[in-house]
Structure 1
Amino acid sequence: AEVEPLTGGELDRQLALLIACWRYLDNVGETVSPELRKGPRGGGRDRDKMLDHVYEAERSYMRKLGVKSPRLVVNDIHALETHRAKVEAALREQPGDDAADQRSWSPRYVIRRVAWHVLDHAWEMEDKDLSGV
């Protein structure tokens, strides 16, 4: 199932889910405290370091689709929107397109992997938020 092409309504549905995950992360990033609760031994990342990690991991994943973006900087909304538009365009390319044939990860896997990673860290930021403490 991972390697089957995403077409039509299924592609639109999965892209809508990915976009919703990105929006959720953006919202969490805007609302949680800049400093996050540390672990029992003092470890862990603060909000901006966690967002930077998510952006850099995603940028790395997208190379598997042939998408190249400059380093994404926290709060550079224009660069983030440009990157996400490139991702959506790459995911819409179908087998037979030159770019689509060069991919080493399937669109299904990319969407699932990015959505999981984005939500995992959004939930972690919510769990460690110090705003209400």
Structure 2
Amino acid sequence: MADVYLEVTDKKVFAASLDWPGWGRFAKSEDDALAALADYGTRFAPIAAAAGYSFPAAPTFKVVERLPGTASTQFGVPDAHPDADHRAVTKAVADRQKKLLTAAWEAFAGFAATAPASLRKGPRGGGRDRDKMIDHVYGAEAGYGRKIGFKLPAPAIDDTAAITAVHDEVLAVLGRPHDGGPLVDNGWTSRYAARRYAWHVLDHLWEMQDRAE
């Protein structure tokens, strides 16, 4: 049974696993968010496998905490910090964060390399095309750096060395044990940062896959 938390507003609810960074989904209600999380287990499973972990074929959930969401939650960005985020990060947890993040990045880069440049528009005619989505993901990852203790410019989407430099900085921070407190003043905890980084890249990977069809 997977421990999950819920981030709740009157318009959106975010459900996320506390032990599988990146496995989280939004919906309009608590039940729908948990159902979406279960549905996306089949899409998260290859990420877990690539990282070297066995993922449950039919996951069940235990909601361990409900938190009020924020304006960011309403916008579709996970923003709440459950109590579990403040637990100490052991070497095993740090290694897990590092491996799952690496697997998520590799999956995103692999699909982006073959995706069509023009993606199918959303139901309201919106949505970024491939290169703008890639630029958004890598730019956000560099921007998040100030929350975990590094500062690098947003890399160009074809600058492999610069993209790798950002990822190396992230892994250097999130891949080491920590006491569970904020990584920098007014910054993120290691567990929250791992979840936010992994959720963001996977959310856009899955969007790109869906809109490439």
TM above 0.5, one fold?
yes
Deviation at 1:113, TM superposition (A): 0.7
Tell me if the contact between 1:65 and 1:103 (Cα under 8 Å) persists in the aligned partners.
Answer: no
Aligned-partner SS, 2:164: helix
User: Aligned-pair RMSD on alpha carbons?
Assistant: 1.9
CA–CA distance in structure 1, aligned partners of residues 143 and 184 of structure 2: 18
Relative to the length of structure 1, the TM-score reads: 0.86
Name the residue aligned to 2:178: 94
Structure 1 unmatched ranges of 5 or more: none
What CA distance in whole angstroms lies between the structure 1 residues aligned with 2:210 and 2:187?
34
Query: Is the 2:147–2:188 contact (alpha carbons within 8 Å) kept by the matching residues of 1?
Result: yes
Q: Answer whether contact 2:147 2:184 (CA < 8 A) is retained.
A: no
Q: Could you list the runs of 4 or more consecutive aligned residues of structure 1 that deviate by over 4 angstroms after TM superposition?
A: none
Pick the aligned partner of 1:56 from 136, 139, 142. Answer: 139
Q: Distance in 2 between matches of 1:101 and 1:44?
A: 34
Amino-acid identity (%) = 46
* 1:76 aligned residue (155, 159, 179): 159
Among candidates 189, 193, 196, match of residue 110 of structure 1: 193
- Normalization by structure 2: what TM-score? 0.55
Report the AA paired with residue 94 of structure 1.
Answer: H
CA distance, structure 2, for counterparts of residue 103 and residue 58 of structure 1:
17
Matched with 1:126 is 209
CA contact (8 A) 2:105 2:201 kept: yes
Higher relative contact order (CA 8 A, sep 6+): 1
The correspondence for 2:104, drawn from 21, 26, 33, is 21
Equivalent pairs counted in the alignment come to 127
Greater strand content: 2
The verdict on how the C-alpha distance between 1:101 and 1:127 changes in structure 2, with shifts beyond 3 A counting, is: closer
Q: Unaligned regions of 5+ residues in structure 2, if any?
A: 1-83
CA deviation map 1:81-102 (0-9, x unaligned) = 111111111222635xxx9454
